[in-house]
């Protein structure tokens, strides 16, 4: 019989398993006690993983819930500037489609247009990987520190349809 974990701090069930970071967490993992973190309040805690309802597919064991989106984005870092479409967004990062050439570990300043009426959300990120799926960015600060980004992700986390924002085709006015 499996059980679902809830966050001991906010009592919500948006809890995901994390990788051990400290020596204490590595030792605890030897006796089936592993770190978890809450998507809502970002609280990190240890809990016994025995009997916990965990995803069986490795793609479902991500630390952050991903939401499908189609948002316009521009980015710059060093001598590189580019534009693209955010395809996938989470508290920890995003995946974009772009024709701009980037390399793993490059650091960029991203501007993500989450609404037409407001200025873009600004966030620093590092390239984690580049593949046919797109460019995967890891945010250098947690999304919880950017209130607008966190509010956008939380408000769209339950949506089943793709979130649409600004037109994603580059235009002469951009």
Domains annotated for the chain, with CATH where assigned, are 15-60 (no CATH), 67-164 (2.40.10.220)
* Cα 40 to Cα 11: distance, rounded to the nearest angstrom: 10
Which tens digit of pLDDT belongs to each residue from 107-133?
999 999 988 888 899 999 999 999 988
Can you read off the two tokens belonging to residue 28? 């605890």
Which tens digit of pLDDT belongs to each residue from 90-114?
888 899 999 999 999 999 999 999 8
Strand residues in 43-133 grouped as ranges (E): 44-48, 67-77, 80-89, 93-97, 107-112, 121-131
Which tens digit of pLDDT belongs to each residue from 26-78?
888 888 888 887 877 778 888 887 766 554 434 444 566 778 899 999 999 98
Residues making up the chain, counted from first to last? 174
DSSP class of 119: P
Mean pLDDT computed over 150-170? 54
Which residues have a Cβ under 8 Å from the Cβ of 67 and sit 6 or more positions away? 88, 89, 90, 153, 156, 157, 159, 163
* Cα 161 to Cα 14: distance, rounded to the nearest angstrom: 20
169 pLDDT more than 50:
no
């Amino acid at each position: 019989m499996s059980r679902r974990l809830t966050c001991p701090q906010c009592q919500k069930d948006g809890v995901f398993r994390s990788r051990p970071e400290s020596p204490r967490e590595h030792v605890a993992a030897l006796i089936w006690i592993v770190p978890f973190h809450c998507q809502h309040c970002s609280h990190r805690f240890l809990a016994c993983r025995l009997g916990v309802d965990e995803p069986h597919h490795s793609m479902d064991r991500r630390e952050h819930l991903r939401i499908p989106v189609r948002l316009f984005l521009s980015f710059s870092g060093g001598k590189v500037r580019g534009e693209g479409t955010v395809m996938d967004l989470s508290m920890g990062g995003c995946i974009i489609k772009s024709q701009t050439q980037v390399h793993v570990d490059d650091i960029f300043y991203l501007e993500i247009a989450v609404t037409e009426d407001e200025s873009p959300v600004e966030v620093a990120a590092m390239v984690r990987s580049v593949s046919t799926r797109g460019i995967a960015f890891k945010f250098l600060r947690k999304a919880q520190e950017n209130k607008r980004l966190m509010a956008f992700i939380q408000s769209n986390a339950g949506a089943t349809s793709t979130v649409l924002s600004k037109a994603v085709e580059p235009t002469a006015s951009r």
